[in-house]
């Protein structure tokens, strides 16, 4: 089963149709006696940049983790590229996260013992890319994100904004189909946040990568093409795009 998303042309022309690359249907997820998702539904179009907003504890990060195959829902379905992933084994979901998904989190989660280039090359090496090519691609991404010449530095020597750009490079270097970003600017000041988001959006669009962005910051959400609101474990509002029936 696959869903199409109909998007209004911002120039006022005819609408375009996007195939859904990620779909959640009636997702429920609880932690002990505390429900986090209560029947959430969502479809994300191929190449779309989607912001997920909501108050603390609303279930937005749980929704992202279910869509990424990190959590399995207690009830409901998650589909990636038309195929269910919530019923896959742990090993298959891990492989999917390594090959098709990229991740950027609030604090980057870089490995401090490794250099900047090592951090970017690592997922490529795990994906069986030859060492020389992996480091060439790492250097290319550093140049692309304005970090040329920093490849030999340890991540602890970087500013917060530089570290998040390295995290973006690491996530996008393997050319994932979907980038999951959970509060990627939450630890940055407003000016650095704007710079990081401009780079994230520009590079994702250039690569044709779908982006699912969880944020509480309206300024960050404004970088997306569409915003959904999560309240009490449900997706309660859609803007700009509508699911085609």
Q: What is the pLDDT of residues 99-125, one digit of tens each?
A: 899 998 876 688 988 999 999 999 999
Q: Confidence band (pLDDT; 50, 70, 90) for 244?
A: very low
Residue-level pLDDT at 30: 95
Residue-level pLDDT at 240: 45
CA 245 centroid distance within chain: 26
Closest Cα to residue 196, out of 216, 177, 210, 181? Answer: 181
Residue-level pLDDT at 183: 86
CATH 3.40.50.300 residue spans of the chain: 4-100+176-243
**Mean predicted lDDT score pLDDT of the chain:** 86
Residue-level pLDDT at 177: 94
Residue 49 C-beta-side C-alpha neighbours within 13 Å: 19
Are the CB atoms for 238 and 228 separated by under 8 Å?
A: yes
Query: φ and ψ at 43, to 5 degrees?
Result: -130, 135
pTM (two decimals): 0.85
Residue-level pLDDT at 198: 87
What CATH class has 4-100+176-243? alpha beta
Pick the residue with more confidence: 150 or 238?
150
Q: Stretch 6-17: mean pLDDT, rounded?
A: 40
Q: Stretch 142-146: mean pLDDT, rounded?
A: 88
pLDDT digits (tens, 9 = 90+) for 50-96: 999 988 888 999 999 999 999 999 999 999 999 999 999 999 999 99
Q: Confidence band (pLDDT; 50, 70, 90) for 217?
A: confident
Q: Which residues, 6 or more positions from 122, have their beta carbon under 8 angstroms from its beta carbon?
A: 111, 114, 170
Q: Confidence band (pLDDT; 50, 70, 90) for 241?
A: very low
Q: Confidence band (pLDDT; 50, 70, 90) for 18?
A: confident
Residue-level pLDDT at 3: 61
Q: Stretch 158-186: mean pLDDT, rounded?
A: 89
H helix runs in 182-226, sequence order: 190-207, 218-221
What share of the chain in percent tops pLDDT 70? 89
């Amino acid at each position: 089963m696959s869903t199409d998303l109909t998007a209004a042309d911002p120039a006022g022309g005819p609408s375009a149709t996007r195939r859904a690359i990620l779909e959640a249907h009636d997702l429920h997820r609880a932690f002990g006696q505390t429900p986090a998702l209560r029947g959430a539904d969502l479809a994300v179009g191929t190449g779309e940049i989607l912001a997920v907003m909501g108050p603390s504890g609303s279930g937005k990060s749980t929704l992202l983790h279910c869509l990424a195959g990190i959590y399995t829902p207690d009830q409901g379905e998650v589909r990636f590229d038309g195929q269910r992933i919530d019923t896959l084994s742990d090993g298959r979901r891990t492989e999917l996260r390594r090959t098709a998904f990229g991740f950027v989190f609030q604090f980057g989660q870089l490995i401090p013992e490794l250099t900047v280039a090592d951090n970017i090359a690592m997922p490529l090496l795990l994906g069986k890319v030859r060492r020389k090519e992996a480091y060439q691609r790492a250097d290319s991404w550093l140049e692309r994100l304005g970090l040329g010449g920093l490849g030999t530095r340890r991540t602890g020597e970087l500013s917060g904004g530089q570290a998040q750009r390295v995290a973006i490079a690491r996530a996008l270097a393997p050319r994932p189909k979907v980038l999951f970003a959970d509060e990627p600017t939450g630890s940055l000041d407003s000016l650095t946040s704007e710079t990081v988001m401009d780079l994230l959006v520009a590079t994702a669009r250039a690569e044709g990568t779908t982006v699912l962005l969880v944020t509480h910051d309206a300024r960050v959400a404004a970088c997306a093409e569409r915003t959904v609101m999560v309240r009490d474990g449900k997706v309660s509002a859609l803007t700009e795009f509508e699911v085609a029936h």
